[in-house]
Structures are given as C-alpha cells and as structure tokens.
C-alpha cells in the first residue's frame, strides 16, 4: 500500500488553519446524512432504469443497426451511455446520463455536415426526467425513437415535412 507523503511544512500550515474549524454541528451532519440517503435513492432509480429499460432497448437497437449494416458505436464513461450513429453526411449522438443528483438527462446531438468541410449545423435537444421516483420503461423507448426520428427527418428535405408514424395528425 502506498501512502501519500505531504511536505511537513505544508501539513503543519494546513492543520493549523483547519483544526480550529473541525467541529461540525450535529444539525449539519444530519442534513448531510439525509442528502446521502436521497442520493442513494436517486442512484438506485437511475441504475434500475438503465438495467430494466435503457440497456434492453439500446441492445435491440444495436442489433437492428448491425443487421442493416448502419455504422454506429455505443460507449460508456462514468455514469453515462452514448450511442452514435454515422450516416453519409450526418451523424447523431444520444447521451444518457445522471446529469444532476436527482435527474436523468437524454441529450440528443444531431450534426449535419455542409457542402464544404467545416460547414456544420448542429441540433441539440435535451430532455430531463426526475429520479425521485422510479421511471417508467417507456421513457427509454420514447427517447430512442425521438432520437432516431430527428436523425431520419433531416435526411430528406421535402417541401412539407414528413411526420414519423405515430406522431401524425389525427384524421
């Protein structure tokens, strides 16, 4: 086991400044314990949502993309999952993360490349859901469908915008 060695003069200086302030009131500690209990609940709701809703729907999507030879990448880092889809002149990325202690965020980034290198247009959408209560599994499906719909809508420029199935006007 490796221990951290502080410069003796620095350690003495630091302790001289900190020791007089070491006593924390019980009320402050109670508030910290309560905040940690809430954080633990939010983390559990996020973990359950990922395992029960996000991972299965992303897995199904990845299988569909691979079967149809659509270039894509799924990556994880920290508490986030990212899905990137590459097409001829655009790409889209969906990032799912616990961006605040009490919410899950779906960030949709869709990039269109211009005719000349460096001409790019980006559309961002961000949706947040409260983790104070367990999230319905349908949120994951809705967000992936929203992302894929936005990505596909911008591929073809028609006079009248195409509306994806299920989002049309009522007859």
C-alpha torsion sign, points 90, 96, 98, 102: positive
* pLDDT range class, residue 171, cuts 50, 70, 90: low
The length of the chain is 171
Tell me the C-alpha to C-alpha distance, in Å, between residue 110 and each of 90, 142, 149, 153, 162: 7, 17, 11, 11, 17
Q: Of the given ranges (29-38, 120-129, 137-146), which has the lowest mean pLDDT?
A: 120-129
pTM value is 0.71
Instruction: Give 98-109 pLDDT, tens digit per residue.
Output: 988 788 999 998
Which pLDDT score, from 0 to 100, does residue 122 have?
78
Q: Which helix (H) or strand (E) holds 132?
A: none
CB 81 within 8 A of CB 54: yes
* pLDDT range class, residue 142, cuts 50, 70, 90: very high
Q: Which two tokens stand for residue 22?
A: 């070491």
């Amino acid at each position: 086991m490796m221990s951290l060695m502080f410069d003796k003069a620095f350690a003495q200086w630091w302790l001289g400044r900190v020791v007089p302030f070491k006593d924390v009131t019980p009320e402050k500690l109670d508030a910290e314990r309560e905040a940690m209990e809430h954080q633990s609940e939010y983390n559990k709701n996020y973990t359950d949502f990922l395992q029960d809703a996000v991972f299965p729907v992303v897995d199904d999507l990845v299988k569909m993309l691979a079967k149809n030879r659509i270039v894509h990448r799924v990556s994880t880092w920290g508490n986030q999952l990212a899905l990137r889809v590459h097409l001829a002149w655009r790409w889209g990325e969906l990032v799912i993360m616990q961006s605040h202690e009490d919410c899950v965020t779906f960030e949709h980034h869709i990039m269109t490349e211009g005719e000349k290198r460096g001409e790019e247009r980006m559309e961002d959408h961000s949706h947040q859901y409260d983790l104070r209560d367990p999230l319905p599994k349908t949120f994951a499906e809705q967000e992936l469908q929203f992302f894929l719909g936005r990505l596909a809508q911008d591929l073809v420029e028609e006079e009248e915008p195409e509306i994806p199935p299920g989002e049309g006007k009522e007859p």
